[in-house]
Amino acid sequence: MTSSSRERLPDRIAIGVLTRAFPPELVDEVLAATGRVEQRKRLLPARVVVYFVLAMCLFRQEGYEEVTRLLTNGLAWARHWRAQWQVPTTAALSRARARLGAEPVAALFERVATPVATAATAGAWYRGHRLVAVDGTTFDLADTPANGDYFGRPGSSRGDGVSAYPQARVVALAECGTHAIFAATSAPLTTTESKLVPKLWPALAPDMLLLADRALLSFDTWRAATATGADLLWRARSSAVLPVTRQFDDGSYLSEIVAARDKNRRADPATVRVVEFTLGEAATVYRLVTSLLDPEQAPAAELAALYAQRWEIETALDELKTHQGGPNLILRSQHPDGVEQELYGFLLTHHALRGLMHDTAASAETDPDRISFLRTLRVVRRQVTDQAAFSPEPPDASTTVHP
């Protein structure tokens, strides 16, 4: 393939599976919607910076300039480009990230991140319900005054009583059968998970069954989640008051939860079904509350076994932080807006990887859990350096590309 001398190297960057998951046309739409359309040509146009952020999160342990070299490696043979375009400096790449901001990357995640399981996906469904789970985690951040002031630091028993690194809190919704994270939000460490999770409820749908740990259960959170039409299966604290209003043959029973402000009158209760079971030699008693009230449609033994699927989101978050981010992950961004941009970059690349793994499993007619995340990550990283398939920025009208 030949190109006119007016076509620039940034116009030919491609990054394999990421441009497949996030087509240039979609990136352009998001940039236009968020007001990042540029009036003049830059060495680092906004679209290229979006792909750079994604690649930066894919090649977590590489410096800025090396990430750019990896993106352009597939075109190194194009000698006439070498004289026209040089790898931008780390300072230039940092300024380009700051110009882009977090909003376009967050908007891209909102557009693209959806559940990926089909009706045929093994392990993704329970009696017509798509299994999803909610959980939270924290990310260590670069130790800068801006990050410390905005996000805060956890306490520590050493030194001056605070951690060496600021932390951001993230809560997410993930599809249990595929580990695809399809909704997420972040906040300073002082914001509790229970206050963050309602921001995720718009991503719920009536065909979903949402699994959650005991820390989440409260009347208002339950009522808001069920208002989406989704069904719920959440663990309850051992101290929760759950009076028996009707006993079922399978051992479960109907009960009700009320808001603390209504605990005496109980004028506005939410009806729930309770499933109790024990696990382990210590015979720990687990109590689950669910909106699935009919034991014939959802037997207690099935729900007790099903709750173990909640751990799939723990695995998804571990993939994101430990495997994709690397051991002892510390985000590199120096300012809060960059932190948010970087977090959504991680989420986008993880979703792309999980989408690829689902498609691979579907073609092999196997469970997505049988596909190695780490092996997929390695394959995709190799692919990035080998592909330069098409331009992430449309060429000028005067530019021609000939096969």
Structural tokens at position 99: 């110009």
Examine residue 399 and state whether it is found in any structural domain, yes or no: no
* pLDDT confidence band for 389 (50 / 70 / 90): very low
Supply the pTM of this predicted model.
Answer: 0.88
398 within some domain: no
Task: Count how many domains the chain has.
Answer: 2
Single residue among 311, 334, 357 that ends a domain in this structure: 334
What is the pLDDT, as a whole number, of residue 84?
A: 53
Could you give the CA distance from residue 187 to residue 169 in angstroms, rounded to a whole number?
5
* Position 147 in a domain: yes
Residue 294 burial (C-beta neighbours within 10 Å; 0-12, 13-18, 19+): exposed
3-state secondary structure of 322: helix
Distances (CA, A) of 89 to 15, 46, 63, 85: 20, 16, 11, 12
Structural contact between residues 131 and 177, judged by C-beta atoms closer than 8 angstroms: yes
d(CA 232, CA 242): 16
The DSSP bridge partners found for residue 208 are 130
164 is in which domain, residue-wise?
114-334
Average pLDDT, the chain: 86
Give dist(CA 152, CA 59) in Å, integer: 27
**What integer is the mean pLDDT of 217-241?**
95
Q: Which two tokens stand for residue 229?
A: 């039409």
Query: Do 186 and 77 fall into the same domain?
Result: no
- Give the number of residues written for the chain: 403
**Structural domain ending residue among the three candidates 315, 334, 353:** 334
Residues 145 and 292 in one domain: yes
Q: What is the pLDDT of residues 41-86, one digit of tens each?
A: 667 789 889 989 999 999 998 999 888 877 766 444 333 344 455 7
Q: Find how far residue 60's CA is from the centre of its chain.
A: 16
Of the listed ranges 54-68, 154-168, 227-241, 330-344, the one predicted with least confidence: 154-168
Q: Identify which of 91, 79, 70, 98 has the alpha carbon closest to the alpha carbon of residue 339.
A: 98
Contact 371, 360 (CB under 8 A): yes
Question: Letter for the amino acid at 23?
Answer: P
Does residue 325 share a domain with residue 228?
Answer: yes
| Pair 261, 352 in one domain | no
Residues 255 and 284 placed together within one structural domain of the fold? yes
* Residues 270, 377 within the same domain: no
Q: Are residues 132 and 29 in the same domain?
A: no
CATH number at residue 267: 3.90.350
Q: What is the pLDDT of residues 164-211, one digit of tens each?
A: 899 999 999 999 999 999 999 999 999 999 999 999 999 999 999 999
Alpha carbon distance 351, 368 (integer Å): 13
Residue 249 lies in a domain: yes
Q: Are 24 and 108 found together in one domain?
A: yes
Q: Is residue 259 part of a domain?
A: yes
User: Are 66 and 156 members of one domain?
Assistant: no
- Does residue 401 lie in a domain region? no
Q: What does the DSSP assignment read for 18-83?
A: HHHHS-HHHHHHHHHHTT---SS--SS-HHHHHHHHHHHHHSTTS-HHHHHHHHHGGGTT-HHHHT
Among 291, 309, 334, give the residue marking a domain's end.
334
Confidence of residue 233 (pLDDT cuts 50, 70, 90): very high
Residues 6+ apart with CB under 8 A from 107: 30, 33, 34
Q: Is the pLDDT of residue 102 over 50?
A: yes
My answer on whether 39 and 15 are in the same domain is yes
- Say yes or no: 328 and 348 in one domain: no
Asked whether residue 147 falls in the same domain as residue 55, the answer is: no
Of residues 379, 192, 221, the one with CA closest to residue 291 = 221
Decide if 3 is inside a domain. Answer: no
Give a yes or no: residue 2 inside a domain: no
pLDDT reported for residue 277: 92
